[in-house]
């Protein structure tokens, strides 16, 4: 069995909330379609940007079900399913498969820090053995600055060796291009996906497969331009312009707390104020910050 390598521009989609801070499913589905229309290959919902771990399992299931029921092709959805409790990870992964969603992004259990590689291997193995579905494709999730639990090269190699048709990629959100390039070089066919928008371009030249990023909530079209034309010398100007736009939008979001800023920027660009809401412990930008951000947005390419 051989599956095509995961690749392309995946959006780490924000999750719109209603006034009670519950997931606004209709607006979420509309956002998914907006992202795909902009050129994203897929929607990596329920990740860090999507505030997944601020939702209950029932809410997470409902969000994914809404996307599928709302007409998003399950092949273009890649939900986060990794939690601290392996039973929960198993449940969410099985649930995704039950909807025909076969690709997931899987955090390691992230409560305990400094755990041994053997323990992380055992955790992933426990989940994969329990799910035991040939359709499943797992993207490991390396975001140590948030999870506190890095995915090291030794762990990656062991998981690929044991589950070659299932452990098929990694989202690397640590921002270290050399680390991504080293993984890509060590494991041809394994999909290395950048977690930071500006790194899509250099990573594609180093054997990377694409990206899963936050700024693609706003500039998916530019990321798509980079992805499609990065190797075409005749398109160098277009690619450079797209990259400059990506960097400008990302730099603006990162001059605030990133996730609330991305949501505020989505609210500003769509005109839907409510899209700026976040769940505690995140804090929405206040009115003054949102006004200042909206003014700066006008100046971006």
Using CB under 8 A as the binding rule, the residues of this chain from 255 to 274 that contact its own copies are 257
| Tally of residues, the chain | 301
Opening angle at CA 281, ends 254 and 199, nearest 5:
30
Return the number of the residue (8 or 50) whose C-beta is nearest its own copies: 50
143 is in an annotated binding site: no
Distance CA 46, CA 244 (A): 27
Among 6-14, 160-168, 242-250, 276-284, the segment contacting its own copies (CB under 8 A): 276-284
Q: Label residue 287 exposed, middle or buried (CB < 10 Å: 0-12, 13-18, 19+).
A: exposed
Please state whether beta strands 167-172 and 191-194 pair in parallel, antiparallel, or not at all (unpaired). parallel
- φ/ψ of 158, rounded to 5, equals -65, -40
Interface segment toward its own copies; rule CB under 8 A; list 80-88, 191-199, 234-242, 291-299: 80-88
> By C-beta, is 229 or 279 nearer to its own copies?
279
In 3-state terms the chain splits into helix, strand, coil percentages (rounded to 5) of 50, 10, 35
Q: Does 148 bind its own copies (CB under 8 A)?
A: yes
Written as six digits, the tokens of 167 are: 């452990």
C-alpha angle with apex 279: 34 to 67, nearest 5 degrees?
35
Sheet of 103-106, strands arranged across:
42-43, 8-11, 210-213, 191-194, 167-172, 137-142, 103-106
Residue 141 makes contact with its own copies by CB under 8 A: no
Q: Take residue 47 and report the two structure tokens written for it.
A: 């990740």
Under 8 Å between Cβ of 104 and 139: yes
| Stretch binding its own copies (CB under 8 A), from 31-39, 235-243, 275-283, 292-300 | 275-283
Query: Quick check: is 112 catalytic?
Result: no
Contact residue for its own copies among 5, 30, 33, 59 (CB under 8 A): 59
Per-residue contact track with its own copies, 93 to 122, x per CB under 8 A? Answer: ---------------xxxxxx-xx-xxx-x
Which range in 82-90, 174-182, 194-202, 214-222 contacts its own copies by CB under 8 A? 82-90
d(CA 227, CA 6): 13
Q: Is 62 in the site for its own copies (CB under 8 A)?
A: no
Regarding 288 and contact with its own copies (CB under 8 A), the answer is no
CB of 116 to its own copies, least distance (A): 5
Tell me if residue 171 is catalytic: yes
**One of 86, 162, 248, 289 touching its own copies (CB under 8 A):** 86
Residue 146 in contact with its own copies, rule: CB under 8 A? yes
Pick from 5, 70, 88, 186: which binds its own copies (CB under 8 A)? 88
Place of tokens 């412990």: 281
151 carries a ligand binding annotation? no
| Cβ-Cβ contacts under 8 Å for 57 (sequence gap 6 or more) | 88, 91, 92
Q: Is residue 91 part of the contact set for its own copies (CB under 8 A)?
A: yes
Does residue 64 belong to the site contacting its own copies (CB under 8 A)?
A: no
Residues forming the active site: 141, 171
Give binding residues for pyruvate as ranges: 49, 212
The footprint of its own copies (CB under 8 A) covers 48, 53-57, 59, 84-88, 91, 108-113, 115-116, 118-120, 122-123, 126, 145-149, 257, 279-283
């Amino acid at each position: 069995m051989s599956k095509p390598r995961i690749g392309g521009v995946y959006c780490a989609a924000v999750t719109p909330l209603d006034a009670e801070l519950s997931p606004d499913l209709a607006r979420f589905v509309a956002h998914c379609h907006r992202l795909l229309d902009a050129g994203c290959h897929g929607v990596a919902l329920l990740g860090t940007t999507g505030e997944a771990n601020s939702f209950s399992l029932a809410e997470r299931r409902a969000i994914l079900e809404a996307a599928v029921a709302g007409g998003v092709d399950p092949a273009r959805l890649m939900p986060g399913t990794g939690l601290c409790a392996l039973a929960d990870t198993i449940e969410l992964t099985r649930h995704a498969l039950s909807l025909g969603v076969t690709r997931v992004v899987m955090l390691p259990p992230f409560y305990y820090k400094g755990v041994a590689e053997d323990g992380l291997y055992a955790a992933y193995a426990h989940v994969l053995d329990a799910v035991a579905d040939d359709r499943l494709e797992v993207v490991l999730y390396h975001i140590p600055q948030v999870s506190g639990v890095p995915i090291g090269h030794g762990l990656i190699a062991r998981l690929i060796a044991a589950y070659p048709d299932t452990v098929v990629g990694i989202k690397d959100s640590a921002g270290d291009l050399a680390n991504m390039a080293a993984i890509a070089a060590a494991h041809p066919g394994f999909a290395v996906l950048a977690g930071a928008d500006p790194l899509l371009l250099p990573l594609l030249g180093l054997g990377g497969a694409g990206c899963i990023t936050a700024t693609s909530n706003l500039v998916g079209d530019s990321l798509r331009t980079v992805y499609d034309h990065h190797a075409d010398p005749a398109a160098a100007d277009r690619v450079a312009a797209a990259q400059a736009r990506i960097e400008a939008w990302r730099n603006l979001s990162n001059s605030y707390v990133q996730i609330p800023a991305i949501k505020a920027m989505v609210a500003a660009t769509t005109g839907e104020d409510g899209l700026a809401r976040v769940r505690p412990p995140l804090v929405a930008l206040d009115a003054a910050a949102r006004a200042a951000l909206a003014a700066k947005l006008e100046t971006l390419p």
